[in-house]
Amino acid sequence: MRIQMLFKLTLGFLISALFLTACGGDAPTPTPTSQAEEFASFLATTVPTVPPPITPSPVLPPPTAVPLELQLGDMSAGEYTFSLLGALNSDLGFTPIYEGIDAVSYALAQGGTNLNGPYEFILWTDILTDGTTEDTTAQIVFTLPASLEADTYEVVGRDVMANPNDIGVEIVTGLATQRFGADASGTLTIVANGGVGGVFSGEFEVTVGDDAGNTVLASGRASAIGFKPQESAELIISGALDAAPSPDELIYLLAHDTSTVSNNDWRIDVATVNTPTNPYIIQHRLYMSPNIAQGSYDIQPRASLNDARPEEVDVTAYVELFNTEDGMIIEATDITGTLEVINIRDTFTATFTLTYKIDEEQEVSVEGGVFYMNKPAQ
């Protein structure tokens, strides 16, 4: 038994040796690897690279229209934006040269003053003109009728305004070197239009052209910008003189009297100009205490320009008529009347009535006033 088992072992070794020799017995024996390393190697060579899953973008809801009133609510009162594109460019940003509304009367105005409209709505900005590197300024001017309710309106060029209900627009560069107003299209949307003493809020997008065909696209919005009224005066004379001069036939001012005997009075001057039907320049000059307050005051006569206003008197008046045909001066006598001071804060507004005599017997009655006069510095 042992011999048979030993024979079987010897035969097994010989068979194994022959097999190793046939397979290249001199080849190095590979270094055994762990099962984890073998599995990782298998995955690297057999499993394809899979990209990360794509997360779909959320579907955005349609934009919600934000009312213009709310958009203007994001702006401070007195703030505006103004941009230009085309023949002019506002690449330098927005610079208010002065804020807001300069209500200069327009030729189509009834009465010619801001008491009845229309008004001018003016915004300024810095600009760079096309083809240059020199900066300047530009203003856009809207001419508005006396009263416009909140709504969207079509505009026309200021040069082609046909009636007082038109909204005219023009664009003018600094020193008026370029002007656009021959034609215009677009809209002005008004949210608030307070007129004199009120505020303007709204937005615009207009295209304004010049005579050469150049155009400027202007857009912007303005929030609660105050209207500045225009200085004006009126005068109605009845009796011996009978005259109702238009605003263009009046000269008026508010000033401090420069005479050494004036007590530093405020002085209102309202004078007519001579016309073909009236040869007289009629000067009405009222002197008021520098401390005058809002209220009603009796007017006392002032015998000459060199007289001082008595300290106990609030208002005195002097009236003179100069005849341009013969150079004769007539000093009115028996002057009486009242002065109603309406506002004396930033601007001065007052109305007055006067009666006086000329040539000792002919009586004249006057109703008049000055409105929104800018108070000069003392």
Question: With 50 as the cut, is the pLDDT of residue 111 above it?
Answer: no
Residues 294-314 have pLDDT tens digits of: 999 999 998 888 888 888 999
Structure tokens at 351: 């109305």
Burial label, 174 (beta-carbon count in 10 A; 0-12, 13-18, 19+): middle
Measured CA to CA in angstroms, residue 188 lies from 142, 151, 207 at distances of 9, 8, 11
Considering only residues 122 and 186, tell me which one the structure prediction assigns the higher pLDDT: 186
- Look at 49-58, 226-235, 325-334 and tell me which has the smallest mean pLDDT: 49-58
Question: With 50 as the cut, is the pLDDT of residue 6 above it?
Answer: no
- Percent of the chain predicted with pLDDT > 70: 73
Write the DSSP assignment of 321-366 as a string of letters: EEETTT--EEE-EEEEEEEEEEE-SSEEEEEEEEEEEETTTEEEEE
Q: Where are the domains of the chain?
A: 68-226, 232-374
Dist. CA 142–CA 139, nearest whole Å: 10
- Percent of the chain predicted with pLDDT > 90: 31
Residues 29-42 have pLDDT tens digits of: 555 556 666 656 65
In the DSSP assignment, the letter for residue 212 is T
Mean pLDDT in the chain?
79
Which amino acid appears at position 99 of this protein? E
Q: Is 127 helix (H, G, I), strand (E, B) or coil?
A: strand
